[in-house]
């Protein structure tokens, strides 16, 4: 069975369509939940409740968005679900079995980047591959494959300190996926990357999903989350403030923005309707609206005054708008 994933990049509005294999293993087998499941999980550090009774599940291949401000509990949640630190209460399972660090074939790109500066890239990759149980032949094959995909072949015999930060980040990304993990956690994967390398990484993530991988992505770049994630969870001070299907969440909000392009300045008409302009340049406007009805009244007024309308688009809140609303800015 095949599905189609459509990713719309806000920057250039280019549609990337890929055929994706549907991995049937995420369905329940014999009553056992297949995938990742957290139920009523909590963690406390020296009097501070870092994570407070959160629950969510990732029940099919794809990208799940884990969001929150700094200190919201994202990293603690990630480390618990990967078995790196112990939870205080609740249950975390992967394919119906309790999560332990050795029991889950996971890959992890932490927010805190780090490669050994005085060591050759190839040697580092071999080291991490063998830590994950790969033999020399398997490791070499994986290194060659991913070095080509990520365009870092020429750096394999260099010390890490000779590489740019962007290329170092791609090497660390390789260490997270080199052993073909089932579950991959990416913490700020695009941070510090230039547009070319960002696009390379995005295409790799698309391919990983097509292979049936489960990916959890934590990022402050809301545009990237909207591109990839069908389901999200937002944390604030250790508590869940919003979770669910992103499309359904956004459909629950009323339109709040009008984007319009005209052949002349329309400030007087905007002011007449007591609307606030968020942005204007060369007769392109982004206007806050209270309802779609208000937008159509403005349109009618402009048409009656012989204003040429080149663009008229009513928009609902972005994920960034929703995030700010939920966490209080």
Regarding whether 45 and 124 lie in a shared domain, the answer is yes
User: Is 319 in the same domain as 219?
Assistant: no
Tell which of 221, 251, 281 closes a domain: 251
pLDDT in tens, 5-20: 333 333 333 332 333 3
Considering the domain architecture, whether residues 231 and 308 belong to the same structural domain is answered as no
Cβ atoms of residues 74 and 68 within 8 Å: yes
Residues 82 and 195 in one domain: yes
Whether residues 246 and 261 fall in one domain: no
Q: Same domain, yes or no, for 240 and 283?
A: no
Q: Which domain holds residue 225?
A: 2-251
Cβ 256 vs Cβ 250: under 8 Å: no
Is the domain of 100 the same as that of 123?
yes
Interatomic CA distance for residues 277 and 273, integer angstroms = 11
Q: Do 122 and 245 share a structural domain?
A: yes
Residues 50 and 198 reside in one and the same domain:
yes
Last residue of a domain, one of 224, 251, 278: 251
Q: How confident is the model at residue 323 (pLDDT cuts 50, 70, 90)?
A: very high
Note whether 135 and 276 are same-domain residues. Answer: no
| Closest C-alpha to 24, from 58, 61, 62 | 61
CATH number for the domain harbouring residue 240: 3.40.50.300
Boundary of a domain, candidates 251, 272, 290 = 251
- Say how far apart CA 2 and CA 145 lie, in whole Å: 25
Least confident residue range of 95-109, 215-229, 285-299: 95-109
Quote the number of domains for the chain: 2
What pTM did the predictor assign? 0.82
Q: Based on the fold, state whether residues 36 and 174 are members of the same structural domain.
A: yes
* Structure confidence by residue, pLDDT tens digits, 187-206: 999 988 999 999 999 999 99
Residue range 300-320, pLDDT digits in tens: 999 999 999 999 999 999 999
Q: How does DSSP assign 240-297, residue by residue?
A: EEEEEEHHHHHHTSPP-EEEEEESS--HHHHHHTT-EEEEEETTEEEEE-S-HHHHHH
Residues 149, 77 share a domain = yes
Q: How far is CA 271 from the centre of its chain?
A: 38
């Amino acid at each position: 069975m095949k599905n189609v994933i459509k990713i719309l990049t806000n920057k250039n509005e280019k549609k990337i369509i890929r055929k994706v294999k549907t991995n049937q293993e995420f369905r329940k087998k014999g009553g056992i939940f297949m995938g990742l499941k957290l139920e009523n999980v909590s963690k406390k550090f020296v009097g501070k409740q870092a994570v407070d009774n959160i629950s969510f599940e990732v029940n099919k291949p794809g990208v799940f968005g884990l969001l929150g401000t700094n200190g919201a509990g994202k990293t603690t949640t990630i480390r618990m679900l990967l078995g790196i630190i112990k939870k205080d209460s609740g249950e975390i399972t992967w394919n119906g079995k309790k999560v332990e660090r050795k029991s889950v074939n996971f890959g992890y790109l932490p927010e805190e980047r780090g490669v050994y500066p005085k060591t050759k890239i190839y040697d580092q990759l071999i080291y991490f591959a063998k830590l994950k149980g790969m033999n020399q032949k398997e490791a070499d094959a994986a290194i060659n494959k991913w070095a080509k995909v990520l365009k870092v072949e020429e750096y394999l015999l260099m010390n890490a300190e000779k590489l740019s930060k962007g290329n170092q980040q791609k090497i660390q990304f390789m260490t997270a996926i080199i052993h073909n993990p089932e579950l991959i956690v990416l913490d700020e994967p695009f941070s510090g990357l230039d547009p070319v390398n960002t696009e390379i990484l995005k295409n790799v993530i698309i391919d990983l999903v097509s292979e049936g991988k489960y990916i959890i992505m934590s990022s402050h770049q809301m545009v990237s989350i909207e591109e990839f994630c069908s389901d999200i969870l937002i944390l604030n001070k250790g508590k869940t403030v919003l979770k669910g299907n992103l499309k359904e969440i956004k459909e629950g909000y009323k339109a709040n923005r009008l984007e319009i392009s005209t052949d002349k300045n329309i400030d007087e008409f905007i002011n007449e309707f007591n609307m606030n302009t968020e942005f204007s340049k060369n007769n392109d406007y982004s206007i806050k609206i209270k309802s779609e009805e208000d937008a159509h009244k403005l349109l009618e007024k402009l048409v009656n005054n012989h204003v040429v309308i080149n663009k008229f688009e009513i928009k609902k809140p972005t994920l960034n708008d929703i995030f700010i609303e939920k966490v209080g800015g």
